[in-house]
Structure 1
């Protein structure tokens, strides 16, 4: 019994100790990889495509990567680029970090939720959470000034 109490205390401390603070996120983050790319490249549509069609799909993937930047700013504000109808648009949202490193994004179209599954000074991995679909992880690297 004593051992399980010690284990519980240590696990609670580990969760608290690993909680990411908003201040750690402040700065610019570039999307460098998303698991959805692998689904596209492994799809039969991609595999059976002509060289020109594959080049077009690859160009759209690269365009998405190059144009997805998250800028976390003071005041719990996220400025980010997004694609709407193949056009890059700038958006803003309020951010909350909930227990368990859950990132709650209050966007005009509704709230979005993602879990920060990995974090360091230079890398952040987000797992979007959605009732409608299971999307893959998004890997960001901090943009050095």
Structure 2
């Protein structure tokens, strides 16, 4: 598994937009868009649902977006919200930035990998990666306090 991750990191980093430093990530980031949610909203099941069913799903989607905040801290630590059986939990993980574009997140569920697709002062786009494929992008906006 570890060898696969490093091979994947190397391959993707060659196609990267540029290098990111961890200090650029420090701060709070609010999820504002997830490609997976867009697929659900555009699906025939969602489109053909009753108005009350769509309203209920939209409430859950909005809650998910609003409660998903990543806070990158000094010392390569990440605080984030996770859902476990519809319960919202605050969690922490160690983070490694590799090749300037790959985030390896170490938490109690194991290691998760995400590629930094783009990063500006106020916008971060991550692409979670799995063994089998890349998942849809997660778009975050910086929370200015």
| Same fold flag (TM > 0.5) | yes
Alpha-carbon distance between aligned partners in 2 of 1:37 and 1:103, rounded to the nearest angstrom = 22
The TM-score, its normalising length taken from structure 1, stands at 0.85
Residue 129 (structure 2) pairs with residue 107 (structure 1): no
- Corresponding position of 1:28: 28
Residue 82 in structure 1 maps to residue 82 in structure 2:
yes
User: Could you say which residue in structure 1 is the equivalent of 2:121?
Assistant: 121
Q: State which structure, 1 or 2, has the greater radius of gyration over its C-alpha atoms.
A: 1
Cα RMSD for the two superposed structures: 2.0
Unpaired runs of at least 5, structure 1: 1-13
1:74-127 superposed Cα distances (whole Å, 9 cap, x missing partner):
110000011221221101000001115001001111000000001011000000
Give 3-state SS (helix, strand or coil) of 2:41's partner.
helix
Number of residue pairs aligned between Structure 1 and Structure 2: 132
Query: In structure 1, what is the Cα distance between the partners aligned to 2:104 and 2:20?
Result: 13
Aligned CA distance change for structure 1 residues 51 and 18 (closer, same or farther; 3 Å): same
Range with greater deviation from structure 2 (106-115 or 130-139): 130-139
Which residue matches 2:57?
57
Counterparts in 2 of 1:133 and 1:54: CA distance versus 1, 3 Å: farther
Tell me, yes or no, if the aligned pair for 2:31 and 2:66 is still in contact at 8 Å: yes
Change (3 A) 1:56 1:92: same
* Cα 1:85–1:132 shift into 2, 3 Å: farther
Relative contact order, higher structure (CA 8 A, sep 6+): 2
